[in-house]
Amino acid sequence: MLVAGITTAAQSAEIMRCSHQLPPDNHIAKIIDQWAAEIETLSENAIDVQVNGANSLVKAPRNAAAVRAGEIECAFTMNSRWAESLPLMDVTLDPFALRNVEILKKWNGSRAAKILEQEVAETGLTNVAWLFTTWRTAITSKGRFLTKPSDFKNIRIQGLGPISNAAFEAMGATPVDMSDMAAYKALEKGELDAGLTNISAALSARYYDVQDHVTILPLFTIYYNGYVNSEWFDKLPEKSRQAIREASGKAALWAIEASEISAAAAPKLLKDEGMKVHIATEPEIEKLKAIMRPAFSRAFLAATGADGEELIDLLEDM
């Protein structure tokens, strides 16, 4: 009877299949696992969250479409992957705009977040979580540091979408959009000259195996937003919906805390792996900013119009 009772409870749990692209040792992947466990706890196991990372369930470019079609219930997507369908999501890639972790702590529930959540809702998805990775960027290279605008001329660099790429194109670089996993292979084959990722991912994706220099700077902020199929979510009992909301609110803070710890440790760990590490100076940052930010703004506002301008103003107010 006990076994039968357990089996019945397991069968009655709502399955929530969730896909993401991150490798298992990435700190955000671990936060997603923690988030999943918290949902199960808060829902008293009414929801069975099945997390599938590292593109093992659905490839990253198809995550949103798969959730929208009901193939799976949930996914996490890096904001740069929304560039073509929802360009407003690129707002945190504004060069050197978000250089304070306190801003990230204010994001959840902010007017800026609600604007983006509405954008997501209009596509048939319900945004439930915002997981920021870090506001520190790693630009990896081979043989020398890339620190000034002229260093990027004729450099093939990992790209993050057309809007963000405009900032590098303004310096004469050629961005090529690809994930960290694909960039690792391209760097290894010599098809790329430089990597572009957050500092923690430079470590977890093992960029140190294929590059020997890294410049660290507060260039942009990357996040993974978690979303679910709206029709599926709306049919859940209120207790289950509240469990997802509450767990997501906690995970937003967990992600910031874990990201700060990971980012603080990464420079030394990259050195330990044999990389030469340079922390960009303020004069270097200002020279890059003078070229990159106007180029980004032109591309961002061309794609988003008045909504983009409002979003930038909201971030500055934060």
Tens-digit pLDDT profile for residues 221-249: 999 999 999 999 999 999 999 999 999 99
Most distant CA pair in the chain, distance: 73
* Angstrom distance (rounded) from CA 144 to CA 136: 20
In this prediction, residue 5 has a pLDDT band, given cuts at 50, 70 and 90, of very low
Q: What is the pLDDT of residue 216?
A: 96
CB atoms within 10 A of CB 264: 13
Q: What is the pLDDT of residue 3?
A: 43
Q: Which helix (H) or strand (E) holds 104?
A: helix 101-105
- CATH fold of the domain at 137-220+265-317: D-Maltodextrin-Binding Protein; domain 2 (3.40.190)
Q: What percent of the chain has pLDDT over 70?
A: 97
- pLDDT per position as a tens digit, 104-124: 889 989 999 999 999 999 999
Residue 194 sits at φ, ψ, to 5 deg, of -145, 145
Q: What is the pLDDT of residue 296?
A: 97
137 contacts 217 by C-beta, under 8 angstroms: yes
> Which segments of the chain belong to CATH 3.40.190.170?
2-86+100-133+223-263, 137-220+265-317
Average pLDDT over residues 130-136: 91
In this model, does residue 96 exceed pLDDT 90?
Answer: yes
> Mean of the per-residue pLDDT values for the chain?
93
In this prediction, residue 316 has a pLDDT band, given cuts at 50, 70 and 90, of confident
In this prediction, residue 11 has a pLDDT band, given cuts at 50, 70 and 90, of low
Average pLDDT over residues 59-78: 96
Average pLDDT over residues 38-53: 98
In this model, does residue 269 exceed pLDDT 60?
Answer: yes
Task: Kindly provide the residue ranges of all beta strands, DSSP E only, lying in 96-241, ordered along the sequence.
Answer: 125-134, 137-141, 156-159, 174-177, 195-198, 213-217, 222-229
- DSSP string computed for 205-267: TTGGGT-SEEEEE----EEEEEEEEHHHHHHS-HHHHHHHHHHHHHHHHHHHHHHHHHHHHHH
If we measure between CA atoms, which residue out of 58, 135, 28, 130 comes closest to residue 89? 130
If we measure between CA atoms, which residue out of 100, 98, 67 comes closest to residue 81? 67
- CATH fold of the domain at 2-86+100-133+223-263: D-Maltodextrin-Binding Protein; domain 2 (3.40.190)
In this model, does residue 147 exceed pLDDT 50?
Answer: yes
Q: Which helix (H) or strand (E) holds 18?
A: strand 14-19
User: Would you give the DSSP letter of residue 116?
Assistant: H
* Angstrom distance (rounded) from CA 131 to CA 5: 36
Least confident of 7-21, 138-152, 167-181, 292-306: 7-21
* Angstrom distance (rounded) from CA 225 to CA 245: 13
The 3-state DSSP composition of the chain as helix, strand, coil percent (nearest 5) reads 55, 20, 25
